[in-house]
């Protein structure tokens, strides 16, 4: 009988001790993220901060977008994240365990990203191939653009090397595929900008409203080398449906060398056009007075060259323009 009472007393003491210990431990508030959720958010949070810190100066506006993207991904606000961070910082045991796992995951992802960059050649711009027609695109082969401000566009910048020549033609082509469950109207824009050694810029933009292939072709008329090539695709938020997206693939940036013996139909640049108009206006009356109809039956090609000073023929001082050559040349017959 005595032993039975002692056993009951011991069991009761153990139960009371467990209840007391559990009551001493702090309970996690309902508005605080769980350990697993906090770990996931912190991993993406630190990745976003690292990416934002390495943005070029002209894209610093994206820093806030990277952080907002993390909060949108997990359906929380920045205030909720800060509140959870504050609670865990007061509970150091849990906080240390969470950050140990975060560090392990970030280290593993860093190795994976480094290997991926090394295999794709993104760590540094590689020397382009030689040849008259070369696809110089060495960046990502596929992009998925969404309604989020952090992922609704992509940019690229290429700095030409010694394989680029004067008057090169640049052709940027992409395939766009709109993804929409309910066929919502969607829109996008692609733009290509080329900066030359003279700091002049040629820019072309195309609207993208349907799935299909799109391209932009740019050639400079003057003999100056390319200094920088920039481009982007921007996915406009027309539908405001989160599941709508734009897939961009089959990306090619082709460089064409212009052969010297090939006649190119080029447009007159604005500067040259203005200069030529001034010259035409100044010499308008002189050209009309001095020009007379001339018919040439036979022409010796060596007599008409694009370079070298010219003088008027003695036979017809107003009409027959000839090159100054040391060798005697055949004169055209004039009717």
- Does one domain contain both 195 and 222? yes
For residue 239, the model assigns a pLDDT of: 63
Structure tokens at 153: 């566009």
Give the Cα separation of 79 and 91 in Å (integer): 19
- Does one domain contain both 104 and 148? no
Of residues 256 and 110, more confidence is placed in 256
**Residue range 84-93: average pLDDT?**
86
- Does one domain contain both 85 and 168? no
Q: How many residues does the chain have?
A: 335
Within a domain: 155: yes
The confidence band for 255, taking pLDDT boundaries of 50, 70 and 90, is confident
Give the Cα separation of 165 and 180 in Å (integer): 43
CB atoms inside a 10 Å sphere around CB 90: 9
- Does one domain contain both 249 and 151? yes
- Does one domain contain both 171 and 110? no
> What phi, psi does 329 have (nearest 5°)?
-125, 160
For residue 26, the model assigns a pLDDT of: 63
Place of tokens 């030359």: 196
For residue 189, the model assigns a pLDDT of: 95
Within a domain: 305: no
Within a domain: 280: no
Within a domain: 168: yes
- Does one domain contain both 113 and 168? no
Q: What is the DSSP secondary structure assignment for residue 258, as one 8-state letter?
A: P
- Does one domain contain both 108 and 152? no
The count of domains in the chain is 2
pLDDT tens, residue by residue, 189-226: 999 999 988 888 999 999 999 999 999 999 877 778 88
For residue 234, the model assigns a pLDDT of: 95
Domain boundary among 71, 90, 120: 120
Domain boundary among 231, 256, 281: 256
The confidence band for 131, taking pLDDT boundaries of 50, 70 and 90, is low
Within a domain: 46: yes
The domain that holds 145 is classified in CATH as 2.60.120.260
- Does one domain contain both 99 and 170? no
- Does one domain contain both 108 and 206? no
Q: Which domain holds residue 231?
A: 133-256
Contact (Cβ atoms closer than 8 angstroms) between residue 52 and residue 63: yes
DSSP letter string over 288-329? HHH------S---GGG--SSS-EEE-SS-TTT-EEE--SS--
DSSP letter string over 222-256? SS--EEEEEEEEEEE-SS--TT-EEEEEEEEEEEE
Within a domain: 332: no
- Does one domain contain both 236 and 199? yes
Kindly state the helix (H) or strand (E) to which residue 176 belongs, with its residue range.
Answer: strand 169-179
Contact (Cβ atoms closer than 8 angstroms) between residue 231 and residue 242: no
Within a domain: 16: no
- Does one domain contain both 193 and 80? no
Structure tokens at 244: 């709508």
pLDDT tens, residue by residue, 279-316: 444 444 443 344 333 333 433 443 434 444 444 444 44
For residue 181, the model assigns a pLDDT of: 66
Within a domain: 188: yes
pTM for this predicted structure: 0.45
Cα angle value 196/201/204 (rounded, 5°): 125
- Does one domain contain both 60 and 146? no
Domain boundary among 207, 230, 256: 256
């Amino acid at each position: 009988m005595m032993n039975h009472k002692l056993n009951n007393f011991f069991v009761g003491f153990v139960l009371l001790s467990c209840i007391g210990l559990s009551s001493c431990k702090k309970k996690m508030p309902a508005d605080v993220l769980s350990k697993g959720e906090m770990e996931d958010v912190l991993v993406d949070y630190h990745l976003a901060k690292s990416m934002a810190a390495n943005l070029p100066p002209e894209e610093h506006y994206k820093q806030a977008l990277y952080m907002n993207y993390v909060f949108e991904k997990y359906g929380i606000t920045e205030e909720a994240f800060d509140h959870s961070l504050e609670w865990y910082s007061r509970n150091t045991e849990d906080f240390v365990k969470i950050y140990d796992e975060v560090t392990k995951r970030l280290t593993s992802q860093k190795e994976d990203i480094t290997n991926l960059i090394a295999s794709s050649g993104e760590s540094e711009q590689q020397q382009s191939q030689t040849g008259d027609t070369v696809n110089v695109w060495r960046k990502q082969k596929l992009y998925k653009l969404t309604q989020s401000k952090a992922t609704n566009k992509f940019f690229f910048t290429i700095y030409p090397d010694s394989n680029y020549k004067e008057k090169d033609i640049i052709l940027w082509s992409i395939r766009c595929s709109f993804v929409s469950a309910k066929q919502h109207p969607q829109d996008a824009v692609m733009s290509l900008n080329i900066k030359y050694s003279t700091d002049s810029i040629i820019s072309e933009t195309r609207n993208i409203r349907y799935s299909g292939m799109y391209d932009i072709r740019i050639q400079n008329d003057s003999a100056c080398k390319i200094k920088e090539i920039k481009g982007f695709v921007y996915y406009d938020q027309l539908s405001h449906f989160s599941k709508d997206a734009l897939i961009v693939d089959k990306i090619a940036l082709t460089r064409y060398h212009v052969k010297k013996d090939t006649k190119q139909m080029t447009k007159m640049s604005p500067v040259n056009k203005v200069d030529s108009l001034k010259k035409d206006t100044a010499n308008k009356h002189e050209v009309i007075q001095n020009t007379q109809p001339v018919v040439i039956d036979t022409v010796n090609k060596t007599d008409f060259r694009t370079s070298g000073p010219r003088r008027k023929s003695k036979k017809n001082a107003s009409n027959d323009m000839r090159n100054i050559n040391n060798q005697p040349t055949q004169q055209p017959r004039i009717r």
